[in-house]
């Protein structure tokens, strides 16, 4: 089993920065995850892809809506199995619950590509 735990959400103003963390744990975590991704879901909307990073940290992908503002990185201390979502120049439209996900698929942009999900963390950006 794999567990994903997000942290770091909060209330910020437009233009501010925020960093989210996602820690992966479990006996089979290294065999079970090829990519970890971030998704977000605003009220009344479908969950949408934000970005993803490979287990090695060598490959990353981003949604067009966040390119240049958001960066995903992986903690180089592999025992921590933690990824980060650095969000800069935040906009009110970035307001959503942000979810961390992990899975064995080599595809990364849809919810069906992931097997494990965190509980989500709220990010609210005021104008």
Residue 1 confidence (pLDDT): 86
The pLDDT value recorded for residue 79 is: 64
Q: How far is CA 21 from CA 44, 73, 92, 120, in A?
A: 25, 10, 21, 11
pLDDT at residue number 75: 85
Q: Which of 28, 22, 23, 75 has the alpha carbon at shortest distance from 50?
A: 22
Q: What's the pLDDT score for residue 31?
A: 86
Residue 65 DSSP code: T
- pLDDT, averaged in runs of 10, over the chain (127 residues): 95 98 91 94 97 93 97 79 96 98 93 96 97
Q: What is the pLDDT of residue 35?
A: 94
Structure tokens at 124: 């609210």
Q: pLDDT at position 76, please? A: 66
pLDDT score for 30: 85
């Amino acid at each position: 089993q794999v567990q994903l735990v997000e942290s770091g959400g909060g209330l910020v103003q437009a233009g501010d920065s925020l960093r989210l963390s996602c820690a992966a744990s479990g006996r089979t975590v290294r065999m079970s995850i090829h990519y970890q991704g971030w998704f977000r879901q605003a009220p009344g909307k479908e969950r949408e892809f934000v970005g993803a990073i490979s287990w090695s940290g060598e490959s990353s992908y981003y949604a067009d809506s966040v390119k240049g503002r958001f960066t995903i990185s992986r903690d180089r201390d592999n025992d921590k199995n933690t990824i980060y979502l650095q969000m800069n120049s935040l906009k009110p439209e970035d307001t959503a619950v942000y979810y961390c996900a992990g899975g064995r698929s080599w595809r990364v942009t849809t919810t069906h590509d992931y097997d494990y999900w965190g509980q989500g963390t709220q990010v609210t950006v005021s104008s």
